[in-house]
A and B are shown apart, each in its own frame.
Chain A
Amino acid sequence: MMLLLRELKIMLRSPAGAIQSLMFSVLVIALFPLAITPDPDQLEPLGIGLIWVVTLLSCLLAADKSLAGDYADGSLEQMVLSDYPLWWVCLVKSMAHWVSCALPLLLMAPILGAMLAMPLDRIVWLMASLVLGSPILSLFCMLGAMLTVGLNQSSALLPILIAPFLVPTLILGTQWATTGGEAFYGYMLAALLCLSLVTLPFATAVVAKIAVSR
């Protein structure tokens, strides 16, 4: 709990990172109709996929920043040495990442959906799929960030490394929302979330030990 409060406090005092990833997403969504077509009939089917891709990209882009600070000032070393279980530290970092880049997008989803002429029921399914899917993105992004933190080219390496692992989530999430809640996709997405929740923090913890010994 103490760890989570610290993350939120740091985030609130330097909100530039969260605002930047939200601005990126809103801009992409706003520019899309201008570049492709303002015709609602053509835009509407693109909406779900577009907002999902934007969510995925903004999670990826924010990932390396979410750990760089802790690595540079030595907090990460101290967390590894602490009495707290390391998997819990990693889970908290993933939650903080989710709050800073996926949550603002989730809250903005009705407005973004309206900008792409999506009807209300599709927006609701989109948000449901983001609720289930975006935590998986954050868990994977934290694993990638931990793998590349402290390396010179981390921001270039991270997306290449992690993007393939995000594709199943993207497919299941968009399919679930597009089909209006077909049970198969929903169950698969929920199963993927449970699986990542119980495995990825432990994997990230192993990687964290390697990261601090570099």
Chain B
Amino acid sequence: MLSLFAAAVIVPSSIVVLGSFKKDVEIYTKPLALPETWNLDNFRTLIDSGSIFTPFKNSVIVAVFSVFFTVLFASLVAYAIARSVTISGKVLFGLFAIGLAIPGQVNIIPIFTLFTKLGLNNSLLGLVLVNIALTLPISVFIISAFFKDLPKEMFEVASIDGANHWRVYRSIAMPLARPAIGATSIFLFVICWNDLLYPLMLINELDKKTLPLILIDYRGEFATSYSMLFTAIMFASIPMVLMYVFAQRSFIAGLTAGAVKG
């Protein structure tokens, strides 16, 4: 039973990986076999056409900036929540908790109209802003849970020595929070990298598209050529796979973060 599911994962993955090196016919007749010749034509075609680089670059820009600013802003809020003894801390937390309950997709229409009015559609900046807004709730949740677990004394010691909040945040809270920050960053990076809905809605111009969008385009363009599709999937997935191979623990921790209490 267990090996069956493992096979269910390995088989399609191998088909894709091997398939990107094969010609179409080979994929249909011998999907699981090693390619007769390790054919780099597909890769060359995609690279030469240049149509894969811009989306790749766009995805990188959007993901990196979204994650960076979300983590930055979320940790600031989480710090404020964890260190506050008044009701404002609870209010703040509650405000972001609303975002946890309500799926981000409810806002697609208002955001669309708002961005069209502001001219932010078809812009990577717009995507970054949306990503930040959408992922703030879960980030705040994870990071503030982490801060809450830290003993109060760590923060108070510095305050007594005269350090103001920014100092404490910068020199104590953030270094200690590194595991939570790392896990959250990976979690957010995967979400932003793989997101389809908001980019689909906001972006029409070819040179602003992200990888998922270009994959959809390829579905039409290469409808008859699965080998090309597989090659494109390889391009889109390589960063994730590399990260997964080298940072497995943080990866898994990040993607299941906040899910298990205690």
Say if A and B assemble together. no
Q: Which residues of A contact B (CB under 8 A)?
A: none
List chain B positions with a Cβ less than 8 A from chain A: none
